[in-house]
Copies of this chain bind each other. A is one copy, B any other.
């Protein structure tokens, strides 16, 4: 593993931070000492989520979070992904934007990957936010584990994908502030689809083994 940049003190904004995934990540970053901003369409709901996390987290509307945060994580539902990001091009310009959205469908047989015109949620974000440094990461972390107060370490590697080396290095470092997690470079943005889609397999695995499965890479 190479040396990664220093990220301590960076303010982390989480769009769609009232969902379980966003709230779970917010909680872990707040526990690691980062200033955390929870974003939502509704400032009141954002503040509620921030209060439930504590550790100094604050809530605000998505646009205010996008403007204030140093690094912005996109954890909105896939349904509203394109529409939400389209309104935030300006406040997100120049920033590292970390997409962790998994475009999945569900039916009686479980989860499956949805087709995405741009190839993946992350590539859609890059298309809608041409002035931002889009990175894909945090797809496989279990919200249940992130939110569980008795889980002090989360045992998995976060695959970090992107075409901007400085940005992926920064997000690898950010992933690694979560106790137990290692941020690992996972390839270019054009290979993000399968990482997002693999979440469907993890859901099947969790069902079969009654687990909260994570991915570790061997030999690195």
Which chain A residues have a beta carbon within 8 Å of chain B's beta carbons? 1, 109-113, 155-156, 159, 161, 184-188, 190-191, 193-195, 197-198, 200-201, 204-205, 208-209, 211-220
How many copies, total?
2
A200 CB, nearest partner CB in chain B, Å: 5
A213 to chain B: closest residue by CB? B217
Q: Name A217's contact: one of B1, B111, B195, B205 (CB within 8 Å).
A: B205
Would A191 and B218 count as touching, CB distance under 8 A?
Answer: no
Contacts of A113 in B (CB 8 A): 191, 193-194
User: 27 A-B pairs, CB-CB below 8 angstroms?
Assistant: A109-B188, A109-B190, A110-B188, A112-B190, A112-B191, A113-B191, A113-B193, A113-B194, A155-B218, A159-B201, A184-B209, A186-B205, A187-B201, A187-B205, A191-B197, A191-B201, A194-B194, A194-B195, A194-B198, A194-B200, A195-B201, A205-B220, A213-B218, A213-B220, A214-B218, A214-B219, A215-B217
Would B220 and A204 count as touching, CB distance under 8 A?
Answer: no
Q: Name A184's contact: one of B156, B191, B205, B214 (CB within 8 Å).
A: B205
| Cα A188 to Cα B201 with chains together (Å) | 8
